[in-house]
Amino acid sequence: MRVLILAEDCNPEWPATPSFAFCLSRAITKLADVMLATQIRNRQSIERAGFGNGKVVYINTEKIARPLWKMGVFLRGGVDVHWGTQAILNYPGSLAFEWYARRHFQQDLQNKRYDLVHRLTPVSNRQPSLIAKSCSVPFLLGPINGSLPWPTGFPGKLTKNEAFAMKWWNA
Protein backbone atom coordinates (compact mmCIF):
# COMPACT_ATOMS: atom_id res chain seq x y z
CA MET A 1 0.00 0.00 0.00
CA ARG A 2 1.25 3.49 -0.86
CA VAL A 3 0.41 6.05 1.82
CA LEU A 4 0.81 9.81 1.87
CA ILE A 5 0.99 10.93 5.50
CA LEU A 6 0.30 14.57 6.33
CA ALA A 7 1.82 15.52 9.68
CA GLU A 8 2.69 19.17 10.04
CA ASP A 9 3.73 18.53 13.65
CA CYS A 10 6.05 15.52 13.38
CA ASN A 11 9.21 15.70 15.45
CA PRO A 12 10.89 12.94 17.47
CA GLU A 13 12.54 15.46 19.81
CA TRP A 14 9.41 17.39 20.83
CA PRO A 15 6.85 16.23 23.40
CA ALA A 16 3.25 15.18 22.92
CA THR A 17 1.69 15.36 19.44
CA PRO A 18 4.89 15.90 17.40
CA SER A 19 6.69 12.86 18.86
CA PHE A 20 3.52 10.75 18.71
CA ALA A 21 3.07 11.63 15.02
CA PHE A 22 6.70 10.79 14.31
CA CYS A 23 6.55 7.41 16.07
CA LEU A 24 3.27 6.46 14.41
CA SER A 25 4.33 7.53 10.92
CA ARG A 26 7.69 5.75 11.23
CA ALA A 27 5.89 2.59 12.42
CA ILE A 28 3.63 2.74 9.34
CA THR A 29 6.79 2.61 7.16
CA LYS A 30 7.17 -1.00 8.29
CA LEU A 31 3.81 -1.87 6.73
CA ALA A 32 3.52 0.40 3.70
CA ASP A 33 5.36 2.53 1.16
CA VAL A 34 5.19 5.89 2.99
CA MET A 35 5.69 9.46 1.87
CA LEU A 36 5.59 11.82 4.84
CA ALA A 37 4.80 15.49 4.28
CA THR A 38 5.85 17.59 7.25
CA GLN A 39 6.96 21.08 8.17
CA ILE A 40 10.53 22.13 7.33
CA ARG A 41 11.20 22.91 10.99
CA ASN A 42 11.21 19.15 11.66
CA ARG A 43 13.95 18.32 9.15
CA GLN A 44 17.02 18.18 11.40
CA SER A 45 15.29 16.12 14.09
CA ILE A 46 13.86 13.62 11.60
CA GLU A 47 17.19 13.26 9.81
CA ARG A 48 18.95 12.63 13.14
CA ALA A 49 16.40 9.98 14.14
CA GLY A 50 16.00 8.42 10.71
CA PHE A 51 12.71 7.58 9.05
CA GLY A 52 13.09 3.91 8.23
CA ASN A 53 12.08 2.98 4.69
CA GLY A 54 9.88 6.05 4.30
CA LYS A 55 10.51 9.16 2.27
CA VAL A 56 9.99 12.70 3.57
CA VAL A 57 9.00 15.93 1.84
CA TYR A 58 9.50 19.09 3.87
CA ILE A 59 6.95 21.85 3.33
CA ASN A 60 8.10 25.35 4.19
CA THR A 61 5.37 27.61 5.58
CA GLU A 62 7.58 29.24 8.19
CA LYS A 63 6.88 32.72 6.80
CA ILE A 64 3.32 32.21 8.05
CA ALA A 65 3.80 29.83 10.99
CA ARG A 66 6.74 31.50 12.75
CA PRO A 67 5.13 34.95 13.20
CA LEU A 68 1.94 33.30 14.46
CA TRP A 69 3.95 31.27 16.97
CA LYS A 70 5.80 34.36 18.19
CA MET A 71 2.55 36.31 18.53
CA GLY A 72 1.05 33.44 20.50
CA VAL A 73 3.99 33.28 22.90
CA PHE A 74 3.71 37.04 23.42
CA LEU A 75 -0.06 36.97 24.01
CA ARG A 76 0.22 33.92 26.29
CA GLY A 77 2.96 35.47 28.37
CA GLY A 78 5.37 32.60 27.74
CA VAL A 79 5.51 29.10 26.31
CA ASP A 80 4.07 27.11 29.23
CA VAL A 81 0.58 28.60 29.59
CA HIS A 82 -2.68 29.18 27.68
CA TRP A 83 -2.22 26.58 24.96
CA GLY A 84 -5.74 27.22 23.65
CA THR A 85 -4.63 30.66 22.50
CA GLN A 86 -1.70 29.10 20.65
CA ALA A 87 -3.95 26.52 19.01
CA ILE A 88 -6.17 29.30 17.64
CA LEU A 89 -3.19 31.21 16.30
CA ASN A 90 -1.63 28.08 14.77
CA TYR A 91 -4.77 27.37 12.74
CA PRO A 92 -3.90 29.62 9.74
CA GLY A 93 -0.45 28.00 9.62
CA SER A 94 -2.05 24.54 9.52
CA LEU A 95 -4.28 25.62 6.64
CA ALA A 96 -1.25 27.01 4.81
CA PHE A 97 0.62 23.73 5.34
CA GLU A 98 -2.20 21.72 3.77
CA TRP A 99 -2.59 24.21 0.93
CA TYR A 100 1.12 23.93 0.07
CA ALA A 101 1.04 20.14 0.51
CA ARG A 102 -1.98 19.88 -1.78
CA ARG A 103 -0.19 21.97 -4.37
CA HIS A 104 2.96 19.86 -4.04
CA PHE A 105 1.16 16.52 -4.36
CA GLN A 106 -1.66 17.58 -6.71
CA GLN A 107 -0.35 15.65 -9.72
CA ASP A 108 0.40 12.54 -7.65
CA LEU A 109 -3.10 12.63 -6.13
CA GLN A 110 -4.75 13.05 -9.54
CA ASN A 111 -2.72 10.14 -10.91
CA LYS A 112 -3.56 8.01 -7.85
CA ARG A 113 0.12 7.61 -6.93
CA TYR A 114 -1.09 6.89 -3.38
CA ASP A 115 -3.69 4.40 -2.21
CA LEU A 116 -4.46 6.39 0.93
CA VAL A 117 -3.93 9.89 2.34
CA HIS A 118 -3.62 9.82 6.14
CA ARG A 119 -3.66 13.11 8.05
CA LEU A 120 -2.07 12.57 11.46
CA THR A 121 -1.82 16.19 12.60
CA PRO A 122 -3.43 18.38 13.65
CA VAL A 123 -5.21 15.87 15.88
CA SER A 124 -8.47 17.78 16.07
CA ASN A 125 -11.77 16.75 14.56
CA ARG A 126 -12.58 20.48 14.48
CA GLN A 127 -9.92 21.45 11.92
CA PRO A 128 -10.99 20.74 8.37
CA SER A 129 -8.64 19.38 5.75
CA LEU A 130 -8.06 21.25 2.52
CA ILE A 131 -6.89 18.03 0.86
CA ALA A 132 -9.76 15.71 1.84
CA LYS A 133 -12.24 17.04 -0.73
CA SER A 134 -9.76 16.93 -3.60
CA CYS A 135 -8.56 13.38 -2.93
CA SER A 136 -9.30 10.76 -5.54
CA VAL A 137 -8.26 8.11 -3.00
CA PRO A 138 -9.52 7.35 0.53
CA PHE A 139 -8.70 10.01 3.13
CA LEU A 140 -8.11 9.02 6.75
CA LEU A 141 -8.22 11.55 9.59
CA GLY A 142 -6.84 10.53 12.93
CA PRO A 143 -6.34 9.50 15.48
CA ILE A 144 -8.13 12.52 16.87
CA ASN A 145 -7.43 14.16 20.20
CA GLY A 146 -9.47 13.31 23.27
CA SER A 147 -11.42 15.68 25.52
CA LEU A 148 -13.30 17.28 22.64
CA PRO A 149 -17.07 17.12 22.25
CA TRP A 150 -18.17 14.30 19.96
CA PRO A 151 -19.38 15.52 16.55
CA THR A 152 -23.19 15.64 16.57
CA GLY A 153 -23.47 13.81 13.24
CA PHE A 154 -22.10 10.54 14.66
CA PRO A 155 -24.17 9.68 17.77
CA GLY A 156 -24.72 6.05 16.71
CA LYS A 157 -20.99 5.35 16.71
CA LEU A 158 -20.57 5.78 20.48
CA THR A 159 -20.52 2.83 22.86
CA LYS A 160 -22.66 3.13 26.02
CA ASN A 161 -19.59 4.07 28.08
CA GLU A 162 -18.48 6.66 25.53
CA ALA A 163 -21.99 8.11 25.34
CA PHE A 164 -22.09 8.43 29.13
CA ALA A 165 -18.63 10.05 29.16
CA MET A 166 -19.58 12.50 26.40
CA LYS A 167 -22.85 13.43 28.15
CA TRP A 168 -20.93 14.02 31.39
CA TRP A 169 -18.11 15.93 29.62
CA ASN A 170 -20.47 18.21 27.65
CA ALA A 171 -22.67 19.00 30.68
Q: 2-146: what fold?
A: Rossmann fold (3.40.50)
pLDDT tens, the chain, 171 aa long: 999 999 999 999 987 888 889 999 999 999 999 999 999 999 999 999 999 899 999 999 989 888 887 887 787 777 676 666 667 777 888 889 999 999 999 999 999 999 999 998 887 766 778 888 878 899 888 877 665 565 666 655 555 544 544 454 444
Q: Supply the pLDDT for residue 146.
A: 60
* Per-position DSSP letters for 74-106, written without gaps between them: HHHTSSSS-HHHHHHHHHHHHHHHHHHHHHHHH
pTM of the model: 0.78
At 76 the pLDDT is 75
Q: How many residues does the chain have?
A: 171
Runs of H (alpha helix) within the chain? 17-28, 43-49, 62-76, 83-110, 160-170
The reported pLDDT for the residue numbered 91 is 82
* Closest CA relative to residue 37, chosen from 14, 12, 58, 9: 58
CA–CA dist 90, 4 (Å, integer): 23
Can you give the pLDDT at residue 125? 65
Which pLDDT belongs to residue 115? 95
